[in-house]
């Protein structure tokens, strides 16, 4: 007797096919009167129906079940899947490193978001303003130069103040820093902010792109916005390191250029899942460590040349249009004449309010005097 050993390989595919038609009366897919034919394959489905109508096919591949009773026994055969095991270990290692980095960055962000008092605040000053400084997000927008500013109102000005808390000197790109400034008396309705620096920053950090400055009266809650969107640099822009920024009008704050720029900045720095891990200029309850955990995903990764080509072509189609729109609105500026006219209108409006207040005060004083003289007599 001759015994011959044969080795055969088999491939088993499991699938479930179903024929359905669109029921126009019930507005749903139904399988009434339809069944799957015997000629159904992986590539096509044969439907046998008792009626003529618009119909389609549903194809479902059942997932593999996990038997948790035997899953831990597979560790005995790790040498047979060394590549997969090493890949999983490397991914977990990268996640742990990223989580530690993100956690430290969360702690630094908490310090950065704190509204720190200015280094030159005096204990005898009891009127406070919150100053929020927005630095541009572009390359080399941050600075380590010494920055000073003067906030001027109708009643008084703050004097020359050092824009630092004495601890953190740098205004990094895309950062939003908060300071508490104390003054002796209220400044009144704010008119403009003058800001400058001494260009003393280290290499690559001497110039500064200032996006805007917000000033809030902590006693009344009134907010004032001063839009700059310009360089304070000798080497960039118009070469000025000293700028006077007038109070922004409601028209400027509601303009498409301002809203579009702020929206894009917020979407990328806070809404985008990847970019927000590395950039979080404003306070958010979801920290970098949480977002790093969201990005952690182990599973099959498919990456083909077709997907790469489609992504590249999509970027080429969208990017030039976005860059053109952003460039046009960044280059657009309000004329100096319109800014001056706005300030004149604001001053006239406030003068009228002051006149009404004075007239009301005089009237009240007159009646009070009459009433007092009447009681005396």
pLDDT for residue 26: 81
pLDDT tens, per residue, the chain with 377 residues: 555 666 777 777 777 788 888 888 888 888 888 888 888 887 888 888 887 776 665 566 666 666 666 666 766 776 777 777 788 788 788 878 877 877 777 777 666 667 889 999 998 988 999 999 998 887 788 899 999 999 999 999 999 999 988 888 888 887 888 899 999 999 999 999 999 998 888 877 888 999 899 999 999 999 999 999 899 988 888 889 999 999 988 888 888 777 777 777 666 666 555 666 666 555 555 555 566 665 655 444 555 677 778 878 887 887 788 778 777 766 665 555 555 565 566 666 666 666 656 665 655 555 455 444 444 44
Query: Closest Cα partner for 59 from 112, 12, 16?
Result: 16
pLDDT for residue 278: 60
pLDDT for residue 157: 92
Q: Which domain holds residue 25?
A: 16-60
57 burial (CB, 10 Å; 0-12 / 13-18 / 19+) is: middle
Based on its alpha-carbon atoms, the radius of gyration of the chain, rounded to whole angstroms, reads 34
What DSSP character marks residue 171?
B
d(CA 324, CA 333): 16
Helix (H, G, I), strand (E, B) or coil at 206: coil
Question: Which residue's entry shows tokens 């960044």?
Answer: 330
- Asked whether residue 344 is domain-assigned, the answer is no
Helices 256-266 + 305-331 axis angle, to 10? 140
pLDDT for residue 377: 46
- Asked whether residue 28 is domain-assigned, the answer is yes
pLDDT for residue 166: 84
- Asked whether residue 1 is domain-assigned, the answer is no
Total domain count, the chain:
1
User: What is the token pair recorded at 14?
Assistant: 């499991």
- Asked whether residue 197 is domain-assigned, the answer is no
Task: For the chain, report the end-to-end CA distance as a whole number of angstroms.
Answer: 146
233 burial (CB, 10 Å; 0-12 / 13-18 / 19+) is: buried
User: What is the token pair recorded at 118?
Assistant: 């200015």
d(CA 361, CA 165): 42
pLDDT for residue 276: 61
Q: What is the dihedral of CA 225, 228, 232, 238, to 10 degrees?
A: -160
Question: Which residue's entry shows tokens 């891990």?
Answer: 277
Strands 223-232, 208-217: pairing kind = antiparallel
pLDDT for residue 370: 46
- Asked whether residue 36 is domain-assigned, the answer is yes
- Asked whether residue 41 is domain-assigned, the answer is yes
17 burial (CB, 10 Å; 0-12 / 13-18 / 19+) is: middle
- Give Cα separations from 306 to 156, 299, 303, 319 (angstroms): 65, 20, 8, 20
User: What is the token pair recorded at 180?
Assistant: 């508490």
- Asked whether residue 27 is domain-assigned, the answer is yes
Strands 242-246, 223-232: pairing kind = unpaired
Helices 288-295 + 82-113 axis angle, to 10? 160
Residues 241, 195: contact at Cβ < 8 Å?
no
- Asked whether residue 226 is domain-assigned, the answer is no
């Amino acid at each position: 007797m001759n015994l011959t050993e044969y080795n055969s390989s088999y491939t088993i595919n499991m699938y479930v096919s179903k024929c359905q038609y669109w029921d126009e009366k019930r507005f749903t897919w139904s399988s009434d009167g339809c069944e799957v034919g015997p000629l159904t394959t992986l590539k096509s489905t044969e439907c046998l129906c008792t009626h003529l109508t618009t119909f389609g096919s549903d194809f479902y591949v059942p997932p593999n079940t996990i038997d948790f009773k035997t899953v831990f026994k597979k560790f005995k055969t790790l040498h047979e899947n060394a590549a997969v095991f090493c890949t999983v270990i490397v991914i977990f290692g990268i996640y742990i490193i990223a989580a530690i980095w993100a956690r430290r960055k969360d702690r630094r962000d908490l310090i950065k978001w704190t509204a720190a008092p200015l280094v030159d605040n005096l204990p005898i000053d009891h009127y406070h303003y919150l100053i929020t400084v927005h630095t541009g997000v572009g390359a080399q927008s941050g600075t380590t130069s010494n920055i000073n500013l003067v906030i001027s109102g109708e009643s008084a000005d703050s004097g020359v103040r050092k824009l630092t808390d004495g601890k953190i000197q740098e205004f990094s790109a895309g950062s939003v820093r908060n300071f508490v400034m104390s003054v002796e008396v209220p400044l009144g309705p704010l008119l403009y902010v003058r800001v400058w620096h001494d260009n003393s920053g280290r290499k690559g950090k001497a110039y500064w792109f200032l996006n805007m400055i917000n000033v809030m009266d902590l006693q009344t809650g009134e907010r004032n916005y001063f839009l700059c969107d310009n360089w304070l640099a000798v080497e960039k822009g118009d070469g000025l390191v000293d700028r006077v920024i007038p109070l922004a009008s409601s028209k400027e704050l509601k303009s498409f250029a301002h809203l579009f720029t702020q929206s894009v900045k917020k979407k990328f720095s806070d809404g985008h899942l990847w970019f927000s891990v590395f950039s979080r200029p404003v306070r958010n309850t979801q920290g970098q460590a949480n977002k790093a955990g969201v990005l952690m995903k182990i599973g099959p990764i498919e990456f083909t040349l077709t997907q790469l080509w489609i992504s590249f072509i999509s970027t080429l189609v969208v990017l030039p249009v976005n860059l053109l729109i952003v460039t046009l609105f960044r280059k657009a500026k309000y004329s100096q004449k319109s800014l001056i006219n706005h300030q004149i209108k604001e001053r006239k409006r406030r003068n009228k309010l002051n006149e009404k207040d004075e007239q009301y005060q005089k009237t009240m004083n007159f009646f009070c005097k009459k009433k007092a003289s009447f009681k005396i007599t």
